[in-house]
Amino acid sequence: MKPTFVLLFCLLGTVVNNVLAERVINELYTVVDGNKVDKATLTGFKVWRAAACDRCHGASQEGMVGPSLITSLKTLNKEEFKRTVIDGRSEKGMPSFKENSQLMDNIENLYRYLKGRSNGDILQAKVEMLN
């Protein structure tokens, strides 16, 4: 093959790769390539870490003493999610977070992030800002 053809194929490859970047956009979040997210969803991730939900639900939300939130959020709706986090279920070991103002201000963002994880659109727990 002539060098010019090789170069052309390389260029074509780059173009195709960019077009094929996996992008999921819905009313809750935008995710590119499974780990780059919009600002609100990134804030949700930061709140998840700050509130240390991972102590009980696992660093990848897959469950420890608390259940897998990947599984839970497939059936729990947004209102039920918010109720649980705000009120807790103290008799069952899930604390109330209503005194945590950072979390209360960002509960919608936390839901975006966790729903993206549960839907399988956010492929890894650690996310970064998309450009």
Question: Under the criterion CB under 6 A, does residue 60 sit at the interface with ligand HEC?
Answer: no
> How many residues sit close enough to ligand HEC to count as binding (CB under 6 A)?
22
String of contacts with ligand HEC for each residue 90-109, x by CB under 6 A: --xxxx-x-----x------
**Of 104 and 130, CB closest to ligand HEC:** 104
Sheet with 36-37, strands from edge to edge, namely: 23-25, 30-32, 36-37, 128-129
Question: Under the criterion CB under 6 A, does residue 55 sit at the interface with ligand HEC?
Answer: yes
Nearest alpha carbon to residue 37 among 46, 51, 14: 46
Query: Kind and range of the H or E element at 129?
Result: strand 128-129
Question: Under the criterion CB under 6 A, does residue 84 sit at the interface with ligand HEC?
Answer: yes
